[in-house]
Amino acid sequence: MRQDPDAETRDELAGVITRAGGGDAAAIADLDDRFGTRLAFGTAGLRGELGAGTNRMNRVLVTQAAAGFAAFLTERAAGTRATVVIGYDGRRNSRRFAQDSAEIFAGAGLRAILLPRLLPTPVLAFAVRHLSADAGVMVTASHNPPNDNGYKVYLGGADNGSQIVAPVDEEIAGHIQRVAEAGPITDLARSTDYETAGEDVVNAYIAATAAVAPAPEAARGTRWVYTAMHGVGWETFARILDAAGYPRPRTVDAQLQPDATFRTVSFPNPEEPGAMDLSFARARGTGAEFIIANDPDADRLAVAVPDAAADGGWRRLTGNEVGLLLGWRAARAAQGTPGASLACSLVSSPGLGAIAEAYGLDFHETLTGFKWISRAPGMVFGFEEALGYLVNPETVRDKDGLSAAVALLGLAAEAKERETTIAGLLDELGAQIGHFASGQVSLRVDDLSVISNTMASLRAQAPTAFGERTVAAAEDLAAGVAGAPAGDVLRYRLTDGSRVIVRPSGTEPKLKVYIDARADSAEQAAVAVTELEDAVRTLLAERSA
């Protein structure tokens, strides 16, 4: 509390201490939760709830993280002056955390460059490469709940602006721990001698992204709806649309500008039930042909299309459906290119492999996360089912919801030119490679031991069937499986060609199960997924009890 420069968190902590000193059991438990552990730095950087304590996101923790990262970069630079770029979004304290980081980096002798204002995460990922920086930091919690924030780290040079992977995360975490143990953050050198990037960086990103799919003549008159989900995507996206020549959308005005309270949604993630309800209402009122949504830091993309069978007349496409469409687009463009590949995480649709095979491209399955996907050899397109897409790997080595949106607009214009729709393109793709459907079942827990115990139960006694569907092969990727990346993942291949994958979430207290089916028709594939979801829920209820 004495070293905390933030009056709000100091007062917050003082109140908890006072109540705990008076014997308040809830306050004592709160204190233990705040200080019983330290918010871990991993390959996703830092992410957690805002508040006072070592297990929360606050200025003390961020300052220690910045100083530890600075020490890592200094050590890695081996006598040269490292450059680091810092970006931030519209969440609570994002700008403050970014400024603290810039001052700490500058105080440590690094060249620190702060982006000029709150901007999407892909702009920071772009800036790392564009400025030939050694590293980048983005202050964001992406689509997490409103009271969260985070600290995402990228490396330049040989890492090409990708997010960090092991063992770098452990090395950085070790430096952070040493900083925390050395003394209060008030002892750390700070400097305001950092640079603020000019608009030329943002302009370069806009030009590169508009070039992904310049608008054809068929794009004129397109009616569509866009929401920024209370995030930072709109200002940059609007300029990209103008540069690429696409018509401006009808917007969900209540969600268009950055709002750290995310007042119209309980969870600012386009995947969550209800998050796109305002978009659906806007689309119904304007006769829209499709909807595009970004998450709050604009690194993810959601798409919805009219569907008379869906509640409200609109259906959000799954991340796999969008990924297969964008992968199909990339495969057609890359056909005949030696060494070109498509890549996705191992829990994403196997349909991408079918597309790669159809167009003579290489295919790579990776562990979950773009830190792995972005490193796939020869990749021209990569995606993960959680609404993440990488369509321009020569520009941004991370998921990018804005460039993916431009690519989607290009596909929509192509469909219009051929007198079909986005849904029609999905049918066309299914007729070519087979119809793939996917589903997901999650077990959210309060006690993390439930997840480890359930995984242990499944390893000790592998299921032989999911409902009426027999398991042909049970694979434990932690034990090493030929052709698959090692990880805490269980994969079941069924005799009918379906696939079930079980893994703990890396960011939430969840056990996640991914289901994929392939059939001769979209209807048959959808039925298979529904039946498998029911069987998985039954299995999880038994094994987690």
Residues serving a catalytic function are 142
The answer to whether residues 323 and 344 touch, using CB atoms and an 8 Å cutoff, is yes
Distance CA 415, CA 218 (A): 9
Closest residue by Cα to residue 97 from 142, 51, 56, 66: 66
| 466 within 8 A of 473, measured Cβ to Cβ | no
- What DSSP assignment string belongs to 273-337? TTTTHHHHHHHHHHT-SEEEEE-TTS--EEEEEE-TTSGGGEEEPPHHHHHHHHHHHHHHHHTT-
d(CA 54, CA 495): 49
Q: How far apart are the C-alpha atoms of 411 and 429, rounded to whole Å?
A: 13
383: phi then psi, degrees, rounded to nearest 5: -155, 160
Residue type, 491: R
Measure the CA–CA gap between 343 and 187, rounded to whole angstroms: 46
Angle separating helix axes 199-210 and 121-130, nearest 10 degrees = 100
Q: What is the 3-state secondary structure (H, E, C) of 341-369?
A: EEEEECCCCCHHHHHHHHCCCEEEEECCC
Among residues 67, 87, 59, the alpha carbon closest in space to that of 190 is found at: 67
CB within 8 A of 401, min separation 6: which ones?
A: 120, 122, 233, 294, 295, 298, 299, 300, 301, 387, 389
Joined together, the tokens standing for residue 187 give 């002892």
CA distances from 33 to 23, 40, 51 (A): 16, 14, 11
Give the three-state DSSP class for 497.
coil
Rounded to whole angstroms, the Cα distance separating 425 from 415 reads 7
Question: What 3 state SS string does 435-484 have?
Answer: EEEEEEEEEECCCCHHHHHHHHHHHHCCCCEECCEEEEEEEEHHHCCCCC
Helix (H) or strand (E) holding 91: none
- CB 377, CB 363: distance < 8 Å: no
- In 3D, which of 113, 130, 86, 119 has the Cα closest to residue 392? 130
User: Cα separation of 504 and 28, whole Å?
Assistant: 30
Bond into 167 cis (ω within 30): yes
